[in-house]
Amino acid sequence: MAAALMAVAAGAVGAPAKPAARAKPRPPADTALDVYAEPGERIDIGGGRKLNLRCSGEGSPTVLLESGFGSDSLAWAKAQPQIAQRNRVCAYDRAGLGFSDGGPLPRDLKADVADLRALIDAADLDTPLILVGHSYGSQLVRRYDELYPKQVAALVLIDPPEQNVGEFSASYAKTEAEMAPRMLAMYRGCEQGARDGRLAAARPPSELKNCLRPPNPNYSDKLNASIRAWRSKPAFWETVISGSQDRLSMYGSAVAKSERHDGKPVIVLSAEQPYAGAPADDLKALLAAREQTHMALIGTSRYAKRVTIADSSHDIPNDQPAAPAIAVFEAMEMRKQIGR
């Protein structure tokens, strides 16, 4: 703050100010994405609840996409069309996200796996499926395969989150633990703002300013309004709060030595630049934990490989959308080689 004030003062007494640069014109929004401003097919999974499903393409096996934590099917907007060139591929909104109804609490991994099972049955998706999970979604598809191995043809795990960071940096783990209550308190404030309608107001109060992201300049006003609407609902914040509490324990330990996905392909995609901006000490610990995690995951099957995706952040489906499609094709080829 002091440096910023000094810069303002220097400008006032220094050389004449240069004319303000003209703002670059905003590129036209990609209106093709407006399909995500409306529901796809809302599938009745029982209990008075529906989950929003978006399927495209033709070809077997069917591919099902699991997004990262707090993300809806829009996360696959770039990658899904590429997979659809060879396979039938489906993405969906988990409970409380996008156009899906909320679900009973807690919204933990167990609940998400149960919803996925109900969705596959209700939508009559052909099994076995190739399950593709990004970030938190990789946890979900791993667990699904452990419970229902006959329904899974292969796993593609896109930049699975690091586990067991505490082994490499006790201070990092301590800081994360100390920050968690403050994070959850903020989320609860957002949830209350959603309940009393303040979050959905044209101008939410200042105490709720961190609850909603700014509009994405690449999206149309229609799509930005749709995203803002579902993120302003109590169901979204209930999901985020409950899921965040579950994640605190989920990532605290290493990949279990008992986890196995034998007999089927497992492909791990690792981002080249997963932690942009992280302090040096934290970066070292995070990279070590991620290396341990990814190596452990390719050790869960005799038919596994790991691929580093160049020029990509953690958000591989957006940065390098061809990578998931290539991984799906490779998984299919691996299945042929092992006679499945």
Per residue in 131-149, pLDDT (tens digit) is 999 999 999 999 999 999 9
Average pLDDT of the chain to the nearest whole number: 92
CA angle 5–7–13, rounded 5-degree value: 105
Q: What is the pLDDT of residues 23-59, one digit of tens each?
A: 556 667 778 999 999 999 999 999 999 999 999 999 9
Least confident window among 2-11, 210-219, 229-238, 267-276: 2-11
pLDDT at 30: 78
- CA diameter of the chain: 77
Assess whether pLDDT exceeds 80 at residue 126. yes
Q: Which residue has the tokens 């290539």?
A: 326
pLDDT at 13: 29
Least confident window among 9-13, 116-120, 121-125, 224-228: 9-13
Assess whether pLDDT exceeds 80 at residue 182. yes
Q: Which residue has the tokens 């995609």?
A: 269
CA angle 330–331–336, rounded 5-degree value: 95
Q: How confident is the model at residue 11 (pLDDT cuts 50, 70, 90)?
A: very low
Residues comprising the chain, all counted: 340
pLDDT at 6: 28
Of the candidates 45, 40, 102, the residue with the CA atom closest to the CA atom of residue 65: 40
Q: Alpha-carbon distance 212 to 227, whole Å?
A: 10
CA angle 150–155–157, rounded 5-degree value: 150
pLDDT > 70: what percent of the chain? Answer: 92
